[in-house]
Amino acid sequence: MPTTKRALRAAVFDAYGTLLDVHAAVARHAAKLGNKAAPLSALWRAKQIEASWILSATGAYEDFWSITDRALGHAMQAHGVEDAALRADLLSAYRTLGAYPDAAPVLEALRGRGLGTAILSNGTPEMLASAVDAGALGPLLDAVLSVHPLRRYKPDPRVYALATERFGCQPHEVAFVSSNAWDAYGAARFGFRVFWVNRAGGPVEYWLDELATVLPGLDALPPLLRA
């Protein structure tokens, strides 16, 4: 497990899946989907992430809202759900995903320890503004950084550099927190001190037992960090 003793300047968080519950949109409309709700939500998320990887790998770009829409269409079609009104409702719900209960207390605790706090996300600025507002996280963040101006997605190292540029620091002065194993790996390769939030308690991926500190939830983070 990596050491956490060196001085830090900032704690930077992934948004979707880390601070924000990506399955909350489907959960709000689960009654209409029945037993298709969970697998549809999982496929929606998988295709959303897959699209971001393919676009970056090929040097192309389509904003995250557009690929979120496309991924939902694929998931609904794959599960035989034909309901235009429901699709619109699910997309609308995605704009205001609920924050995990531990998100705000952890951000507040880290700010109290003198650390800068930020989101670094694939989401568009508009998506992130809506989600941060819905989760009442705005007052607890110094910055909300989107890949959109860069037109590249994680785990492109240029994305992670947005955080060091914002805080005027070196990678080792940033604690990067993500529940997405592939994102945590990319951040570790960039040089951040990485904390992988393994909420589901799944098997370790991408050598993160060696490259990151593995946490069961966000609330385990504050005792490990100090400015």
- List active site positions: 14
d(CA 140, CA 115): 11
Contact, 133 vs 140, CB < 8 A?
Answer: no
Task: Give all strands (DSSP E) within the chain, no chain letters.
Answer: 10-13, 116-121, 143-146, 174-178, 193-197, 212-215
Query: First-to-last CA distance in the chain?
Result: 20
Bridge-based pairing of strands 143-146 and 174-178 is: unpaired
Structure tokens at 109: 């605790």
**Residues linked to residue 118 through DSSP beta bridges, in sequence order:** 12, 143
Q: Give the pair of three-digit tokens for residue 26.
A: 């489907």
User: CB of 200 within 8 A of CB of 183?
Assistant: no
Distances (CA, A) of 50 to 31, 56, 148, 190, 191: 27, 10, 17, 21, 24
